[in-house]
Structure 1
């Protein structure tokens, strides 16, 4: 989509805020039972390119299935603006909900990678 830069993100109520440094070049969605219900667009960023600015104490953690991904929800508004996990090479990664980025360009859902999480 563009060159890497810092994006500001937040949950709906603004209690959880963060920045993510990314180029938004690897957008994806997933059809697993959880992601399908949420409908969010994902962008993986190395944990070193993610900074939680506020709201850590306001996050509720949820793990399911293999429990390898830490899904984090705002206790106030219920929005999951990001999740934490480890990629296939063992690197700590943050999966950012692009719909929670304040200044991201519009997403063409036909142009993103579709992950078959339902059959993973």
Structure 2
């Protein structure tokens, strides 16, 4: 499964925080978080995609898992 981003590299910005292990890519025009890449050395590479940026997704069919982060 591959991901094809229609934006040019100039259209996307990169935001890094904390350990700078995950590169958060966002649209420079509207600011939406498009995807992220885990590039930490010594780990498996992972990608995280904002499904709101995908075409033809039935959001009602996407399972939702409630998580109470406040109580952690």
TM over 0.5: yes
Aligned-residue RMSD, C-alpha: 3.0
Q: CA deviation at 1:62?
A: 0.8
Residue in 2 that maps onto 1:54: 7
1:85 to 18, 38, 57: 38
Name the CA shift for 1:73/1:111 in 2 (closer, same or farther; >3 Å): closer
Task: Indicate conservation of the 8 Å contact 1:50/1:94, yes or no.
Answer: no
Name the CA shift for 1:111/1:64 in 2 (closer, same or farther; >3 Å): same
Name the one with the larger strand percent: 1
Task: Indicate conservation of the 8 Å contact 2:23/2:39, yes or no.
Answer: no
2: distance between equivalents of 1:52 and 1:84?
13
TM-score for both structures, normalised by structure 2: 0.68
Could you tell me which runs of 5 or more consecutive residues in structure 1 were left unpaired when the two chains were aligned: 1-20, 22-48
TM-score for both structures, normalised by structure 1: 0.45
Q: CA deviation at 1:57?
A: 1.4
Aligned pair count reads: 69
Q: Is 1:69 the equivalent of 2:28? A: no
